Structure 1
């Protein structure tokens, strides 16, 4: 069941009750605000009006010796002395008794022609009291019932409208069913080392306090989305075996003034009662945004009050011994500086995108519950998913299982994972998209241009697969194995730009025309050339200059350089792109035959792999960075095994020598004994 289902049902239920409440209020107002004109008269005046025929309806309350008469309009105007009559005007008077009044009515009918409708009511005083005060009682009872129901069901906030200032934190106790440990967190070795120390603080605080150290009050997890910040916080709670309060930064935000600060106070009150414990605030930037930025008619006052209360609770006059605050955000640049200082968040832990080895470990964790066969290569999967976060890798494994189940397979195979990566990166295949033979040939020549130049350039990314089957919004796509470099040289960036422009260059060289299919390529190349000139200082006319702002603040309408420099930047960017475009055309002209073979294979098969490109162009003379890393790891492994083997042989030979020595000593010992004897 979706978690949104019960909430929608509860909202509908409360609305129905609200409609009922409004209806009851209207009914009560109808009874309480009766504007009918009424007047008490004496018996003589009442008898006169009755004999003159001014009564249209007469109600006799026999048990109360009381009569009420409804008047016609002309008589009512004379009795109330007004020309404006509201409702049905009535008069009432006391009668001697019910029996005698009945005789009087008979006399009026015979002598005076009294013809009004007569009704007898036997209601008691209790009935009249209920009719008069009943709506009040009903409204009060219904309001109490509604308030208690909203309180029990959590309507109007955590604990209902009367508990709107209570914290919405979800408590995970150490005896709960949810258990997450560091074994469930793959990769992130440096981040885990940081948070493992927090676990030690909670388990053995005396180990640090005895030396005069203070337990850190908070740790901030910073990193891109999907890298495992929340999972890391849950693992800390699972390893420390302490209560774990989890909530989001938006849970403090409320439309009522003062509610956010009240919830902060209530959260820390609960945390102190459960100490030692961990308080985890996810997406803290919702409440921790820097103060004084873009004030908008006081709209930020409530959020700033909440932040001020959070700052006070984290490092105020009071002591929060045993309470550690963990927070996560991917927008650390917009947080308030007072929140980031030591004493509140003592350490910032950067949870970055996983590298090659980390992705291997993450794949192994997510493949525990997936039935795979021997064709699945975890190393290849890790190399084919550069830039993927932990959440993306989990999505790849799940998508591969769904694809295998769709094909009625007993296990998930290597091709299923390849299809899953293609599905996530490129989108769903659209074989039903209508393309003519001319368009298909143009797409094949374009993609073959990318594949050819990337294969012939040293620093271009190695090719994995090329397809002309439409995926998502793309008519064709090429998959490469990006080099995860720590630093990038100018030559490497130029080779990548040249390979990216290979598609447009192939269209111009072999078709004699260009199309809009290279729009994405041109966008990437322009941004890369601009970065080379403006950020990395890799241009001839503007060397060693960088206009990048590392603080993350935008310049707005002003630039940190003059108009002449801006023109020079445009010229340098255009020059770099033009040079690489001409270079791409030159390479394609020199290898026109091989490019044509590759394009024909792509048209006939629609999908080609690196083996097909190698068969046409030959083996690449350069080794990619990932292959170098694998070779280094393999050589290091072999050297380690060799050193271990030599050590074992040395220990074995040393052990034999000791054995001989022990035997010689054993033989000498009896001789000494005999001499002593």
Structure 2
């Protein structure tokens, strides 16, 4: 590996700076006499073969690590400003702001800037350097006093280079003055090797290759603190410097806990975080700007699905600090002022720890400012404060913002818009394949795959937290009986801790979800991607519409109410399953019906927009509006009932198949819907035996066609 270090930007200035600050000229001359001369008056070096071995030990005088780091900072500055561009920037009149990796780097860079650009900062010239005060100790008084000096520079007509970092702060008035805002170029292998040729034992090309292999990656170099860099350069030889750098980088505490590789069944979210990790590494290496990185993600889904696990796994994988806060964490600090102060403290910690991750949980608890909730004026101030802090985070390079909510629909629109949370990712309960993979990763070395699949089938729809809980209980049971985990222990744990299948309940849920599937298919709605039946309820996942018309909206309501209609048709009754909570079928249908009458302009005689609280409260809905919305709901349910009655054989086929499989997705679901809607009419039951079975005999003791088997059991529910 051949390096032409004298051509490295700033190399000549770094060499001159080290010569000026060497403890003895002879000591420095011994160290850098092999470097091509590019300093005026520097003696011509004697030629050294490319394959020259390491020379003898360096002079006994210890190296000053701070001087070495100042030389490195000169190379970083030269890269940042393209050698001599800083002087031109400062002539514009507005301050140039340079953001540094940490507070301790300020003094190092100040010295380096004066060495690299002596004409800009010479006595009597206009250039001045100002360092922002440290945020950890800065109150308003300290900031004001520090800025007095800056203001005096500006009043006197000086051009100013402002040095700041995530640990330093300046008032908004000062920040508004900045004309050029840059980040100090990250450390590269070439810069490290260039400084080592000036400060440590000269090396042959072969040794240079060994140094490159020993040095940590550029990403890890960028994360080393100023103090660790100084300590590394105090080593006696170049090889020892590289070894120290590698050791310091490896010594960064490795977080215990889950990594992204431990997250199952959330392919989109894991892929997004892995891409973010790559982009973060590229940004730290100076290959991309922070503006090119999608650095804000909003995770939404049911409780326990892994919304908290994902940012934790990401920070563990990326080796970043995780700063957590939530509505509850802020609220317990006190009333509005204290609450916003607590949020501000969390944001400051994330900014001061950059690169870092700020995780804001319970985003939905802040409510939407348009919602007519109790103390809504108070909440307007809180949400406005949240927006201000989100904007601060997104304006800070190196801070990743992750939010989480159980109810995306009730989050303030200004919070979730692009520019605040650029990417929204649904976090759904795990499917059968993901649960099997989860169990396989945790128990696969001691339990047969067949048994794991059996247990996974009983846990369809479980969250990652619930699977973890089951695994912990299984391990506890094994310790209690003083046994290793085995198929027998796993089956016993399943019988103890997993809900026993309730056949009538599962049949009813299968009928309910079959109603959604069939009506959606017949009305040519967006494709259903997954259908699931569990003892805790069912689900159908479907692509969402982009735009509504009156007809499409009525079809959507019919599909939402088709679960109720299917239960009535196959079970002779309806359950409360369609109306539990603000995300239930009936709640969604009600909101659509109200929106049709009040927001979308679909009402026959009224064309007036007004807002609807979510969830809508009965006492907020005028009687005439409630009547019109109810008529729309009843008409949609009647439409669903007619469609299901006319296609009852298909409904039973789908319900039966869904009950047997518990979960169907993708292409298999498409084929089921096509087959069911194209099947022949239901045949009469055929008995095997002399007489029909009595009501006391077990289900399916009579061999009906499979479609009728489902129907018979459902009617008994």
Q: TM-score by structure 2 length?
A: 0.41
Name the TM-score, length of structure 1 as normaliser: 0.43
Give the structure with higher Rg (CA).
1
